[in-house]
Structure 1
C-alpha cells in the first residue's frame, strides 16, 4: 500500500470510528444486518480496523472497486445475451457490487454506499415488474435477468446480502415496494414457477434454495424459508410450471436445501459432482448456512449430517494439487483453484465456525484476502496473532455417496508426486464415463492428464460460454480418460441412466507406510460380462531418484474383446524401445464414442516383454514401462479430429491396444527422473532406472509383479485380489520360495 492510500485509510478509520456509536443503536438479534455480516460483527470489525492488515487491505480493495463503479453510474440494461455477453456481464457485475457496497455501508457508515444500493434496487424494481422471460431460449429453465434461472439465483443470493445491509436505511414504504414488486416475485420465479430448476438435487438447485432462503431470512418470510429448506410443498406445487424444458423434478420427492446437503455429500465431505462444481456450490451452501446459523441458530445447521458442510471444505482443499488447483474430475475446468472467491468464503467460514484449524490460516494468507464479515475478522485476528501453520496435505481416501458406499476418490501423495484415482459414482449430470481412471501430477504440474471439460466458460465466442457439443462427444467418453475402453464403446454405453445406477467399490486403501501408498478398487457392469479391478501405488524406492507409480489393471470377461489402454501424457516424445511408423495422412481412429476425435499419428507392434516410452516436459524426463507381447499394438494419437471449430486441445496420447483376448492384465510403471537445464544445456539422469517389469503371478487371489532396476536389484510387489483385510495373513509360494505377510500387499527386495 503506498503512502497516499495508507493516509486515506487512516483518515477513513478515524471517520468511521468516530461515528460508531450513532449507528450501533442496539445489539439485538433482530437488528440488521443479521444474515452474513451481523450487527455485533460490524461493531467488532470497527474496533479492530487499522490493526488487522489482511482485513484492512481487503477492505481498501473493495472500497476502490465500488468507488470506481459508483463513479461510472448505475446501469441495468434490458437482458438479451448469453454468458459472456454485455448485458449478462453487466448484471453479473451489479450483483457483486451491490453486495460489496452494502458491506461498505455497514463498516464505514458512509451513506453514499447505501444510496447507491437503494438506487440500483429501485431501478431493478421498476424493470422487473414488466420483465418477460429472457429472450434466449436454450436453457431448460429460463430466467428473467439472465438466460437461465441459475444466474437469477446467483443474483438474489448476493443481492439479499446487500438488502440486509441497507434494510434499516430504507423506509418501510421503500421496503414494501422492493419486497412486493421485486424480491417476492423474483423468489417465486426461480422456485414455484421453475420446478425443473428448483425441485431437485443439483448444484443449480442449491443456488436456488439459498437465494429463496436468504431473501426469506432478510424479509422474515417463513414461507420462503420453509420452501428453501424443504422444497416446494403442498398447494405451492399446484402452481408449478410443467417440466417441459429439458429439466427434471426429483422423482423421489427429495428437494430443498437440506436434501442438497444429504444427497450429494458423502460422510467424508466429497461432493458427487466433483471439486469444480463443489467449489461453485460451496458459496450458496455456506452463506445460506451462515444466515441460518445467525438468524435460526436452533437449526444447528453446521451440525447437520454430522457437520458435513465443514468436513466438505477440508475435502475440497485436499482435492487440489500442490499449487492449489482443483483436480479436474468430471466436468472440471483446469486452473480453477482455492484462490477463487468461493474458497475465500470456504476457508473463512471453516475457520470461524469450525475448530479454528491454524492450517487454514496459511491458505488464507496465500489467498491474501478475507471476507468483510464476522468470519473474515476471525481469520484476520488469527493471522495477526501468529497462529498460522501450514495446511498439510497427505494421502487421503474420500468416499462417495450419501452413506459413503458408492465408491470414492483416492489421492496418493509421496514427496512431490500426486496420483488422483477416481473410482467414484457417476457424479450426476456432470459425471464422465471413466471408471477407475487416474491423473498424475508432479509438484503441481500435470504428468498424465485428465482432459476435464469441453467448454470455454463465459467466453461468448465459444458457444455462448456454455458447454460445447464436444463435451458429450469427447470429454465425457471413456477413451478420453486413462482407463480401459472395451470394443471402442464407453462405460455403461455412455448412458447416464445406466451409469447412475452403478459404481465401483473400494477394495483397499493403504497410506500407513509412507514409502508405499496404495489404492485398489473393483467395478462391475461397465460392460456386460466384464469386470475391472485396478490397483495403483506410489512407491518411494531407495534405488530410484523419485517415487514411481505402479499400475495394475485386471480385466476379466466372459468373451474376447478389444481393449484400449491410454496414457494422456504432456510433452515431447524422446525415445522408445519399439519401432513406430508415422502416418502420411491423418485419419480418425474410429467413428464414435470419442474415437472420432482422435487422429492416429503413428503405430507400432509392441515389444515381447516390455515396451518403454520416454518423453520430456517441464524440464523433466518421464518413462512408462509396460508389460506387453508382440500381439499388442502401440498407437500414437492426438486429439482434434472432427473438430472444425477447434474446440478441443491438440493433446497427445499413447494407447496400448490388446485385441481378441478375454482376460488380461495391463501392468505399467511410470517414472519421473532427472532434469534438464536450458541455461547450462545439461541433462541429468535422462534415462529410465527401471530395467524390467514382469508379471510373476496373476489369478483371482493374487497378482505378483517383479520390478528390476538398472542397479541389478529386484523388488517384488504382491497385491491381494480377494481378501485384502489388514488382519489377514497371507502365505504364497512363488518360484519355489515362500512369501508371508499380513495385510493387503507385500513389497520387498528379493535378491539380497
Structure 2
C-alpha cells in the first residue's frame, strides 16, 4: 500500500517515465523494432536483401577503417569539405542500419563518435564562408545541403538512440540537433518557408529529427511551416523562385502545391527524383511514428501516385526525360528511386511491376520495405513494368497543362504543355523530344550545369543555364521574333500555361496529343498537334507534327529541330560561311553558330541523318520564301560550358497566320561490323497541306510507292462523340471523333 505523498509522487514519476520511454521506442523512424526482428529472422534466406546488406557492410567497414574526419567547412559542391560531410551523413545512416540488423556495437560506436565530433564543432561553427547562396548553411554552402545532412543523420540517431546514454543524448540534442533544425528553419525562413524542393528537404529534416526527439514543436513546424511569420511574398531567391508563395509552407503544403492529382511534380522529373527521397522517407517516418496522420492517403494518395508518374517519365533505359532543369543520364538507378520503388511496393499495394525495376536496380533498402521487395523477387512475383502512352496533368488541381507521352513500338514522343515549373522551369511551351529505344532522336537540351564538378562553377548552375538552356530557342518549339516565351520572365510565365486540347492513347495505331498556347506571345495563338502513326506502309511508326499559328501581327517565326547524329542528305542547297557568326544577339540566339543557310527549291524540305546505327528523315512542308538554317550550339561560350550539338531551323518571315507541318520517320539500320546499310532512304515522297481553316486541317502523306494517306484534325471540337463531314477536292470525308486517318 502507498502510505505517503512522497511515495505517491515517486510512483507517478516512475509511471510517467515508463510511459514516455514506451512512447519513445527506438528505432521507430524508418527501421522499426518489429521490422528489425523480421529482418534478422530472414537473414541468409533472401538473396537480394542479403546481397544488399553484404555490399553495404563491406563499404562501411572500409570507410570506418579510414577513421573519422569532420573538417571545417570551406568548399562549394565538389570540393573536399563538401564531399566529406556529404559522405559522412550517408555513412552514419548506413552504419546505424547495420548496427540494428547485425547487432555489432562497432557501428553504433562509430556513429556516436562522429556525432560527438560534430557536436563539438557545431557549437561554435559560423555560417559557411562561401556567400553565393541566398540561404547559407553551416556545414555546407547552402541550407539545402545542411538539410540533406540532417535527413540522413536523423535516421542514424534513431538507430543508436538506445546505445547512447541519457547525458549523451541531451548533449547532442541541445548542442547539435536542435540548433541545426533551428538554423535551417527559423534562422533561414527564405529557404524554409515556401513551396520548393529545397523547402521539402528542410521540412523533412526538421520533422525527422523532431520525430526522433519526440519534439512536437519541431514536428508541427515541419508539417505546417513556421507559425506567425510575416515575409515579403514578392521576394525572390537566387534560384528565381518566389518565397512563401501565397503564404503556404510546410511539408503538407509541399505535397499539395507541386503535385498534380496524377502525381506529376511541377519542377519536372529530375527534381521530382531529388525531392522524392525527403518526401517518402519523412512520410515513412510519419507513418511509423504518427500513423494517425495517414500521410500516404494525403491528397488522395498522391505521394504513391507520384512514383508511378515518375517511372513513366523515363525512357527505355530508365533515364528520366530532361524536362525543365534536368541533367541527362539521371535514372531510376539512383538511390532515391530505390527508396521510391521499395516504399511504393510496400505501402502501395505490392505492384509486381515494381519488382522488375527492383531487379534491375539490384539493391533494396535495409528496412521493412526493402525486405518486402526482396521477398517478392525471391518468390518469383516480378512482372514487367509496362510503360504505355500516358497523359500527366500539371498543377495542384490538374488544370495547368501537363505532359503527354506517346509510345509506339520502341518510339517515345514527350510533348510538354506544362506550367512554368517554378524556378526550374524553361520557356518552352508546346515543345517536344523524341526517342527510339532510349536513344535521343530530337533532343531537349536539359540543364547547363556540371553537378558536383568543382571545376565547373563549383558544381552549381552556370550562367548559360539562363542565357541558353532556359530560352525558347534551345527547344523544339516555335520562337517568334527571336524572343522567348513570356519574354523569358519568370513572373509572367508563372501566370499562364497551355491548355490540353486532345489526348488519345487508346488506339495502338494512332496516338495523338494536342494543346493550345495563347499567352507566350501577346496576340498569337499556337495550336500544336502531334501524333505517332503506325501503318503498314512504313517500316516503323512515323511522327506527324502540325503546328498552327494565328497572330494579329506580322512576325518572324523560327521552328528548330535539335537532331542527334550525322547529317546524311538534304534536298536543298545551302551556303556555308567562311567565318562563323552567332545567329543573334540574345534570348539564346547568341549561343548558336550559323553554320549554313539555304532555301527550299521544292514544296517539301528533307533532312536525313544517322544516329546510333539508325536512319531518320525529317520531311517538312515549306515554301521558297522560307529560310533553312543549320546551327550549332557553342557561340559566345569561351569556357566551353555548352555541348557542341547541331540543330536545323525553318525560318518564316513577314507572316501573320501560318502552318508548320513535318514528319519524322525512323527507318533502316547500319552495321559498322558488316558495313551494310539497310533501308537508308525515307518511305515518304511528299507531305502536303490540302486544307487548313478554323475548323479543320488536312494533311496528305504520299509514300514512295505512290500510296496516299490522309490525316484530318478537327481544330475546334475534340469530342469523341462529335461527327464531322469535310469536303476536300469534291470528296466528302465523314467520321466520328477528333481526327480522321486513312
- Report the 3-state secondary structure (helix = DSSP H, G, I; strand = E; otherwise coil) of the residue aligned with 2:247: coil
Contact 1:523 1:533 in 2 (8 A): yes
Contact 1:103 1:372 in 2 (8 A): yes
- Report the 3-state secondary structure (helix = DSSP H, G, I; strand = E; otherwise coil) of the residue aligned with 2:117: helix
- Report the 3-state secondary structure (helix = DSSP H, G, I; strand = E; otherwise coil) of the residue aligned with 1:733: strand
Contact 2:233 2:247 in 1 (8 A): no
Deviations 1:397-453 (A, max 9, x none): 000000000000000000000000000000000000000000000000000000000
Deviations 1:254-310 (A, max 9, x none): 000000000000000000000000000000000000000000000000000000000
- Shift in alpha-carbon separation, 1:244–1:669, aligned structure 2, 3 A: closer
Instruction: Tell me how far 1:251 sits from its aligned partner.
Output: 4.1
- How far apart are the structure 2 equivalents of 1:27 and 1:329? 48
Moved more, 247-256 or 461-470: 247-256
Residue 666 of structure 1 pairs with residue 665 of structure 2: no
- Shift in alpha-carbon separation, 1:725–1:242, aligned structure 2, 3 A: closer
- How far apart are the structure 2 equivalents of 1:242 and 1:527? 24
Deviations 1:496-525 (A, max 9, x none): 000000000000101111010100000111
- Shift in alpha-carbon separation, 1:634–1:185, aligned structure 2, 3 A: same
Deviations 1:135-194 (A, max 9, x none): 000000000000000000000000000000000000111000000000000000000000
Q: Which residue is equivalent to 1:119? A: 113
- Equivalent position to 1:461, from 455, 458, 468: 455
Contact 2:581 2:594 in 1 (8 A): yes
Residue 177 of structure 1 pairs with residue 174 of structure 2: no
Contact 2:619 2:662 in 1 (8 A): yes
Instruction: Tell me how far 1:619 sits from its aligned partner.
Output: 1.0
Moved more, 457-466 or 695-704: 695-704
Residue 188 of structure 1 pairs with residue 182 of structure 2: yes
- How far apart are the structure 2 equivalents of 1:102 and 1:94? 12
Instruction: Tell me how far 1:253 sits from its aligned partner.
Output: 1.2
- How far apart are the structure 2 equivalents of 1:174 and 1:380? 36
- Equivalent position to 1:656, from 650, 653, 663: 650
Matched residues, number:
721
- How far apart are the structure 1 equivalents of 2:232 and 2:183? 10
Q: Which residue is equivalent to 1:604? A: 598
- Shift in alpha-carbon separation, 1:241–1:532, aligned structure 2, 3 A: closer
- How far apart are the structure 2 equivalents of 1:119 and 1:666? 66
Q: Which runs of 5+ in 1 are unaligned?
A: 1-25
Q: Which residue is equivalent to 1:212? A: 206
Equivalences for residues 270-309 of structure 1 within 5 A: 270-309=264-303
- How far apart are the structure 2 equivalents of 1:406 and 1:295? 35
- Shift in alpha-carbon separation, 1:241–1:552, aligned structure 2, 3 A: closer
Contact 2:233 2:245 in 1 (8 A): no
Contact 2:316 2:437 in 1 (8 A): yes
- Report the 3-state secondary structure (helix = DSSP H, G, I; strand = E; otherwise coil) of the residue aligned with 1:583: coil
Contact 2:233 2:242 in 1 (8 A): no
Q: Which residue is equivalent to 2:446? A: 452
- Report the 3-state secondary structure (helix = DSSP H, G, I; strand = E; otherwise coil) of the residue aligned with 2:699: strand
Q: Which residue is equivalent to 2:15? A: none
Q: Which residue is equivalent to 1:588? A: 582
Residue 249 of structure 1 pairs with residue 238 of structure 2: no
Q: Which residue is equivalent to 2:485? A: 491
Instruction: Tell me how far 1:528 sits from its aligned partner.
Output: 0.9
Q: Which residue is equivalent to 2:627? A: 633
Instruction: Tell me how far 1:30 sits from its aligned partner.
Output: 4.0
Task: Give me the CA root mean square deviation.
Answer: 1.5
- How far apart are the structure 1 equivalents of 2:377 and 2:725? 54
Equivalences for residues 139-538 of structure 1 within 5 A: 139-234=133-228, 237=229, 246=238, 248-538=242-532
Instruction: Tell me how far 1:608 sits from its aligned partner.
Output: 3.3
- Shift in alpha-carbon separation, 1:244–1:665, aligned structure 2, 3 A: closer
Q: Which residue is equivalent to 2:733? A: 739
Q: Which residue is equivalent to 1:19? A: none
- Equivalent position to 2:677, from 683, 697, 703: 683
Instruction: Tell me how far 1:607 sits from its aligned partner.
Output: 3.0
- How far apart are the structure 1 equivalents of 2:233 and 2:585? 40
Residue 565 of structure 1 pairs with residue 555 of structure 2: no
- How far apart are the structure 2 equivalents of 1:619 and 1:416? 14
TM-score normalized by structure 1? Answer: 0.95
Contact 2:523 2:552 in 1 (8 A): yes
Residue 616 of structure 1 pairs with residue 647 of structure 2: no
